[in-house]
Structure 1
Amino acid sequence: MFKTNEYFDGNVKSIAFNTETLAATIGVMAVGDYEFGTSQREYMTVTSGQLNVILPGQITAKTFNEGETFIVEANLSFKVSAVVETSYLCKYED
């Protein structure tokens, strides 16, 4: 069954589900700045909108647009800025 998640006072919401191969979430972000931590390797794809992302070990942001994916290894954190309302798909790998 689906599990819903809400973060940052409701500014980020997601629904967890299982794909044929990996656990995943699909979600939305309001315009704003957020920091997330990972417990598993995470593949994050922007499905609409735009995110400026500071990946672990980096000091400058990289822009990811619709259809683009970035990867964050387990047990790290990363920062994102949603410059417009943005939707995303995350897949989690053990």
Structure 2
Amino acid sequence: MPQEFSGVTVVVPANVYFDGQVTSRTVKFADGTTKTLGLMQPGEYEFGTAKPELMEITAGKLGVLLAGETEWKEYAAGDSFNVPGDSKFQVRASGVVDYVCSYLDA
């Protein structure tokens, strides 16, 4: 997992969710791909996504329940997981979680 991205455009306005408990910044790459760099405060949240996503945890621990699954899975710094497109998923953060979300082609 890279520690730095070079040659990118950063969208200045933050994406703010759940009354500021989850925030992210959009990063656009020259090849047309997009990622968000996010920070999640402790809590439980439900997200929806149109496109498939790759979530990479860079700090903290995150419990995840993907659509159609019945068991929560735990991810920590250095771990990643895929989210299917056009779905919802639930997360539980017991502490602050730093993450990178990559939007994938369907």
User: In the TM superposition, what whole-angstrom CA distance separates every residue of 1:6-47 from its partner, at most 9, and x where no partner exists?
Assistant: 000000000001135421000100000000001101000111
* Aligned-pair Cα RMSD in Å: 1.2
Tell me what 1:50 maps to: 61
Tell me what 1:14 maps to: 24
Q: Bigger radius of gyration, 1 or 2?
A: 2
- Say which structure, 1 or 2, has more relative contact order (CA 8 Å, 6+ apart): 1
Select the structure that is richer in strand: 1
Q: TM-score, normalised by structure 1?
A: 0.94
Moved more, 21-30 or 5-14: 21-30
Q: What are the ranges of 5 or more consecutive residues in structure 1 without an aligned counterpart? A: none
Report % sequence identity: 37
